[in-house]
Amino acid sequence: MSYKSRVSYSQFSMWSQCPWKWKLSYIDKIRDYVSNIYMIFGTAVHYVLQMYLTALYTNGASYASGLDLLEILREELGKEYLKEKNHFAENNLLDMEKGNERNNLLDEQFDKLISKQDMIEFYYDGQKIFDWFLKHRTDFFNSVDEELIAIEFPIEETIKPGLDFIAYVDVLIRNKKTKKYRIIDLKITTKGWGSYKKNDVNTTAQLVLYKAFYANKFNVDLKDIDVEFMIFKRKLYEDIPYKQKRVIQFVPASGKPTVNKTLIRFNAFIDSCFDEKGNKNINGLYPKIATENNCRFCMYADRPELCDRKN
């Protein structure tokens, strides 16, 4: 069985922002391991939400309401914390033998990245999210008229020989009456998305691609698939005179014209970065797109030997 390369939305998004960044990451394979409290919290909250939705659609609302979501969150935060701490040790304390000195140094260095106070604060933020969500759950999920198809549903599509597109849908639901599908992506944020994020075609392309590939793979009409981001807010703005929601549904444009435009951009990415056999194009053109937004959170922004931040 021959090995096939895989490409994802995250690769496409990175290339769309800055082809040079994609080249450094996926061809040169210069990737520093990054760990932070946001990753830990996001992974843990994802897990708890998906567990709750599985229980809701499989066992009913009464059973799901009996789950101790805060205890599950506490356990998952702890698991993710230890996992990230072990990864940090493997990537930063390679030359030190295991022992008390190594453990003390690990505690000291890792606490600078993710402190126990961070963990406590984020846990209570999670409590506020779940308290609000459970009170308003029926605004988002109807377990009577809908059925859960899958959690973390895999979509795999051959793009060209030797290259597959791979994605995992957070939540896939179908309406029993209309037979229409909902592809839902869960986003855990600090204070939600502003207009820049919502209007960014690189952001919305994620669900547009999922919709396009799901429709093609399972022979479903595009008009029978709805997509949405569910945005969970860890914090609310202070001194706002109106009530704020902890969870926002954002439905991006995903009609046929948008799907076609997104696929054109995606195919341009594939043609630029991969040859006909699905191998990465090491001799391709990968220009830098140095903008304030692109460079602000770029892992290579402070490494002039890799990027001079000039177009």
Q: Summarize pLDDT for 112-163 with one digit per residue, the tens.
A: 999 999 999 999 999 999 999 999 999 999 999 999 999 999 999 999 999 9
User: Whole-angstrom Cα distance, residue 83 to residue 95?
Assistant: 20
| Contact call for residues 184 and 230 (beta carbons, < 8 A) | yes
Q: Summarize pLDDT for 150-208 with one digit per residue, the tens.
A: 999 999 999 999 999 999 999 999 999 999 999 999 999 999 999 999 999 999 999 99
Q: What is the pLDDT of the chain when averaged over all its residues?
A: 94
Query: Residue 34: is its pLDDT beyond 70?
Result: yes
Domain boundaries, the chain: 5-28+145-296, 37-139
* Cα end-to-end span (Å), the chain: 42
**Residue 3's pLDDT is what?**
62
User: Whole-angstrom Cα distance, residue 286 to residue 201?
Assistant: 20
Q: How much is the average pLDDT of 68-88? A: 95
3-state SS of 208-232 is: HHHHHHHHHHHCCCHHHEEEEEEEE
Is 3.90.320 the CATH classification of the domain at 5-28+145-296?
yes
Picking from 9, 3, 5, the residue whose alpha carbon sits closest to that of residue 210 is 9
Q: How much is the average pLDDT of 68-92? A: 93
| Contact call for residues 287 and 34 (beta carbons, < 8 A) | no
90 pLDDT band, cuts 50/70/90, is confident
Residue found by looking up tokens 């009913």 in the block: 60
The DSSP line for 75-122 is HHHHHHHHHHHHHHHHHH-TTSPSSHHHHHHHHHHHHHHS-HHHHHHH
Residue found by looking up tokens 């043609």 in the block: 271
| Contact call for residues 44 and 77 (beta carbons, < 8 A) | yes
User: Whole-angstrom Cα distance, residue 94 to residue 302?
Assistant: 24
| DSSP code, position 238 | S
1 pLDDT band, cuts 50/70/90, is very low
Query: Residue 235: is its pLDDT beyond 90?
Result: yes
Name 284's Cβ contacts closer than 8 Å, sequence gap at least 6: 23, 272, 273
94 pLDDT band, cuts 50/70/90, is low
Picking from 262, 284, 289, the residue whose alpha carbon sits closest to that of residue 273 is 284
